Structure 1
């Protein structure tokens, strides 16, 4: 685990560690409330068939996040 990429680009079933979030305001608050905090591990599980949405495993919970939001999160993998 030493490459930093955007969460949008993290391959399915590859675990990454959240490095930073570039979002602000209500989007940042929502992501923090869902458990997306620095140094947390996150794994993409599946892509939405209609695109624009991905499901992630974070702390044992499956959550869906829009691509526009995942493009603001950097992860180490």
Structure 2
């Protein structure tokens, strides 16, 4: 990973980033691809639950909640 790349679970609420790659495989990878989480997709964390897991993300106009074990497998590029 470059220094401007982090995993999605590290992205602060309100900060936008673009997907660089998925490191997951199997059904989790397929689900992310079906939701539109592909290279170049802009993602913004909107809300964190009180416990910090899951987090609601704005992805392609839809609000989708992801657990931290899934968001750790999505690498994003921040500017």
What's the TM-score bracket when you normalise by the shorter of the two chains? over 0.9
Counterpart of 1:62 in structure 2 is: 63
Distance (Å, rounded) in 1 between the aligned partners of 2:9 and 2:71: 5
TM-score of the aligned structures, taking structure 2 as reference length: 0.91
Could you list the runs of 4 or more consecutive aligned residues of structure 1 that deviate by over 3 angstroms after TM superposition? Answer: none
Distance (Å, rounded) in 1 between the aligned partners of 2:72 and 2:49: 16
- SS of 1:63's partner is strand
Counterpart of 1:8 in structure 2 is: 9
- Per-residue displacement from partner, 1:6-49 (whole Å, max 9, x unpaired)? 10000101000000110000000011111111110000001012
Equivalent pairs counted in the alignment come to 76
Q: Name structure 1 gaps, 5 residues minimum.
A: none
Distance (Å, rounded) in 1 between the aligned partners of 2:49 and 2:38: 24
